[in-house]
Chain A
Amino acid sequence: DQQVKQNSPSLSVQEGRISILNCDYTNSMFDYFLWYKKYPAEGPTFLISISSIKDKNEDGRFTVFLNKSAKHLSLHIVPSQPGDSAVYFCAAKHYGGSQGNLIFGKGTKLSVKP
């Protein structure tokens, strides 16, 4: 049973526009959510995170929104750049779990076209 779901396997966006990557989860015991970015042949790289007590966290062009009632979070990239093209993984941590014991979604491949 997939506890973290990324229902869009791919997304194509024009350079300069907004990219919105979505993630849904089923476990209400998750207390921390993270987004990782992965280029081919490289390990996932941490991008941005949000605690379950917040509804928004912003870091430069990246903003993560959390809607706990809907068990939904989204990553906004504004403006999108060709270098943002990668696979984006949503991940979640159980309350009381260790920081690296993460449950990942299947990823969304973002393509930003010049």
Chain B
Amino acid sequence: AAGVIQSPRHLIKEKRETATLKCYPIPRHDTVYWYQQGPGQDPQFLISFYEKMQSDKGSIPDRFSAQQFSDYHSELNMSSLELGDSALYFCASSLRTGTGGTEAFFGQGTRLTVV
């Protein structure tokens, strides 16, 4: 079965550069979520989109922005990168239901290293 695809898998950037991470959700899933997991940390929710509109916002820095496109893929744009942005970035997707009884499926993550 098709899973959540993230690209690139690994990315190395220098301080103050910009980075764009891409996420392709499971087909027919309408909601995308972004998480950041720093070294030794638990995953932290950044932002989510439902039907191309931002639905929830977590601890996403102002230097970051994201959007969901008409084909439901999403991009996380990160500017003025800092060393502390080095982390594993996960994207997840789900199909919104009214029951709250489903789960989000995660991609394999993009490992961003800022040097």
Contact = CB atoms under 8 A, between A and B. Distances in A.
A99 interface: yes
Interface string A32-66: 10101000011111100101000000000000000
Report, as a range, how many residues of chain B touch the other chain. Answer: 20 to 34
Contacts, number: 72
Interface stretch (A68-76, A78-86, A102-110): A102-110
Nearest to B108: A43
A89 to B, nearest CB: 7
A43 B104 contact: no
Contact of A107 (B42, B92, B103): B42
Contacts of B6: 43
A44 B48 contact: no
Given A97-B56, A98-B96, A44 B106 contact: yes
A4 B42 CA distance: 10
Interface of B: 4, 6, 31-33, 41-45, 48, 50, 55-56, 58, 90, 92-94, 96-97, 100-109
19 contacts: A4-B42, A31-B100, A32-B100, A41-B108, A41-B109, A42-B109, A43-B4, A43-B107, A44-B43, A46-B104, A97-B56, A98-B94, A98-B96, A99-B102, A99-B103, A100-B94, A100-B104, A101-B45, A106-B42
